[in-house]
Structure 1
Amino acid sequence: MLVIDDSTDDRYWASVERVIEVARAKGRAADGVPLLATLAITHPEWPVRAGAVRLLAEHHAGDPAADTAVAASTHDTVDWVAFTALKVITEYRIRAAVPDLIRISGWPSNFTKPGWARKPVGCGAALTKRALISIFGTRDSAELRVLEDEYFADMRARIETARKRPRRHEDVVLVPGGPAIIGAVEESDAFRMLTDDLSLSAVDVPAFLVDRTTVTNARYREFLEEVGDSGEFDHPDQPEERSHRPAHWHDPRFNAPDQPVVGVDWYDGYAFAKWAGGALPSENQWEKAARGTDGRRFPWGDDWDPARVNYVERAFGENVADLDSLEALLVTVEQGVSPEHPILAADALPAGASPYGVLQTSGNVWELTRTNFYTGEDMDPFFKGRHPLDFMNRKDAFHVLRGGTWTSPPACLTTFYRGKDLITDRHMEVGFRCVYEAAG
């Protein structure tokens, strides 16, 4: 493609015209859509992008790829590219652009209602509204509402089907709705694992179902075999070109069918839970499932009992007394060698169950939640296409981990200890379980 000469205004515009003429000659062919779409989306000079948008509509309106590129151009950062896209959408009545247009100005049946409160109108809003009215072919708000419903009927049906996806697991327990004590007021101990954001509160947690055990390798294999690389259940922000296969899938220490799956990140847990008809638990759901309603320190009660939990001393077969001895032991970890049997089966140690019968909410593996560590809100990641180095210091990239793991001392094994992890990390110490809507 020709180079843009920006040494003077005249040369700049002349070279822009030359590029557009070349694009016109090459792009009018039946196979010219990819070329024009690439120019419309990625060319560094906005007049070329705007020209490519116009050419896409002139030569290929009705082609799904061309219409998609034109619709995407309504969100260009330069106003005139977006305006050009809006104008050609109006002219060619490109229906594929409707979802993009309503993101800009809202539903046409609303903004055509008499007396409807309006925000200040600029060029973009005016062009968007005109495009929507052109596509639907009426300004009558009642007619528009019917046409909108018809347009989005299939999409709404798919969303509803996905929302009501049946639960794919029967080994669950009911956690009744009602108040629960969340958090604690703690003092530091010999392991200095105190978190600085703990507080004690009572919260209302609606009823839900939760997996009795963490998700096992056997269950996760079913997910992999059925879903493959389809991406059907992936979070929209999931990194591209990666599979859901666990990082330690071929390590004999971690891949027994009855063991909790590990080596997965938050995106893996999200996709599995969606496939299973549920979700990752919120932090409050997790804590209530582990703790009940009486504010107990451990799932089984207030007193520490090493026989009920898989933690660092059980996994390594050695005693640890403080942070220094803990770290000295942890640095002996060797790939495929030590410790030889770090993780127990997901249904082991039933004496450590929570008041509802949920197993191993203390120890064995940390458990993913859908809660952001810093805000307490559901995770809402937006890091696609970026390397973890770009967001590893961003607070919105860290989710809450709960329950402690096989490398943890007792301080991390309470019902209220809050761990955190980067959304893309895949550790041999981290697994998850799912929650589901309670019937009725």
Structure 2
Amino acid sequence: MARVGDFCIDTTEVTNAQYVPFLQAVTANPRMAEQPADVCSWNTDFQVASGYPKPADGDPNDPVRGVDWCDAYAFCRWANKRLCGAVGGGSSPYSNFAQPTDQWYFACSSNGRYAYTYGAGFDEKACNGDGTGRADASVVNVAQSTRCHPPASPFASLYDMTGNVLEWEDSCESSAVDSDCLTRGGWFKSPEPAALACNKNGRRKRTASAEGVGIRCCSP
């Protein structure tokens, strides 16, 4: 993790290799999976969705993907972290995705300084996402895109906050089980440059094991 301001954030997306021990732990003892009972009681299987490589079988350095919001929340809790939300603690209000009070936005934009994680203007070659939605685009190892990070300390060690995979955030429209929750950062098939900007978001049902969506955790 890297400390940025008053909190820490994972330097990369959570990898298959990091997700495997979580699966082993919660399979052996389901009580180790801490998730909000009111919205996640349905979630008893933390495996990735069908159609994605099982973490134990995939490239260990690829980001885990095909996880739902509750999987992401439970992983971060198991790792003694939390799903990124509001600076200072708790969920980030649904409308605050482009405010410096939102942990994910604060980190991606270097506290509002940059439109994209690496700078002011879009660079199709900096990150794994060229803004064209290429049919042959695919996920890559975390931190493989060596230019895909903010230019200055303390943010410079944060990789792939633009592109590669989207990342769940603790920011949901309501407390309904099937509420929309925010995903951030765009992914390798984002169809336009604007979708890869720090001040944009995606929206997925909390219950959806969404295509191209992974995890990044914060603390505290």
Contact 2:168 2:183 in 1 (8 A): yes
Contact 2:165 2:212 in 1 (8 A): yes
Deviations 1:101-159 (A, max 9, x none): xxxxxxxxxxxxxxxxxxxxxxxxxxxxxxxxxxxxxxxxxxxxxxxxxxxxxxxxxxx
Deviations 1:380-413 (A, max 9, x none): 6343xxxxxxx4xxxxx01111100011021101
**Does 2:211 correspond to 1:434?**
no
- How far apart in 1 are the matches of 2:196 and 2:175? 28
**Does 2:95 correspond to 1:301?**
no
Which structure is higher in helix share? 1
Contact 2:129 2:188 in 1 (8 A): yes
Q: CA deviation at 1:239?
A: 4.0
**Does 2:23 correspond to 1:224?**
yes
- How far apart in 2 are the matches of 1:345 and 1:220? 14
Deviations 1:158-208 (A, max 9, x none): xxxxxxxxxxxxxx10111xxxxxxxxxxxxxxxxxxxxxxxxxxxxxx00
Q: Structure 2 matches for 1:184-333, cutoff 5 A?
A: 207-228=6-27, 230-232=30-32, 233-236=34-37, 237-240=39-42, 242-247=44-49, 248-250=51-53, 255-282=58-85, 283=97, 284-311=102-129, 320=132
Report the structure number with the largest CA radius of gyration: 1
Which structure is higher in strand share? 2
- How far apart in 1 are the matches of 2:111 and 2:182? 21
Q: CA deviation at 1:249?
A: 4.7
Normalising by structure 1, report the TM-score: 0.42
Q: CA deviation at 1:427?
A: 2.0
- C-alpha change, 1:241 and 1:432, in structure 2 (3 Å) is closer
Amino acid paired to 2:16: N
Contact 2:185 2:200 in 1 (8 A): yes
- How far apart in 2 are the matches of 1:257 and 1:436? 24
Q: Number of matched residues?
A: 195
- C-alpha change, 1:363 and 1:223, in structure 2 (3 Å) is same
- How far apart in 2 are the matches of 1:274 and 1:381? 19
Secondary structure of the structure 1 residue equivalent to 2:62: coil
Secondary structure of the structure 1 residue equivalent to 2:147: helix
Normalising by structure 2, report the TM-score: 0.80
- How far apart in 2 are the matches of 1:364 and 1:304? 15
- How far apart in 1 are the matches of 2:210 and 2:43? 20
Identity %: 26
Secondary structure of the structure 2 residue equivalent to 1:274: helix
Amino acid paired to 1:417: K
- How far apart in 1 are the matches of 2:171 and 2:115? 21
- How far apart in 2 are the matches of 1:273 and 1:235? 13
Name structure 2 gaps, 5 residues minimum.
86-96
Q: 1:343 aligns with which of 134, 139, 147?
A: 139
Contact 2:48 2:54 in 1 (8 A): no
> Which residue matches 2:175?
381
> Which residue matches 1:363?
163
Name structure 1 gaps, 5 residues minimum.
1-171, 177-206, 314-319, 321-325, 331-338, 375-379, 384-390, 392-396
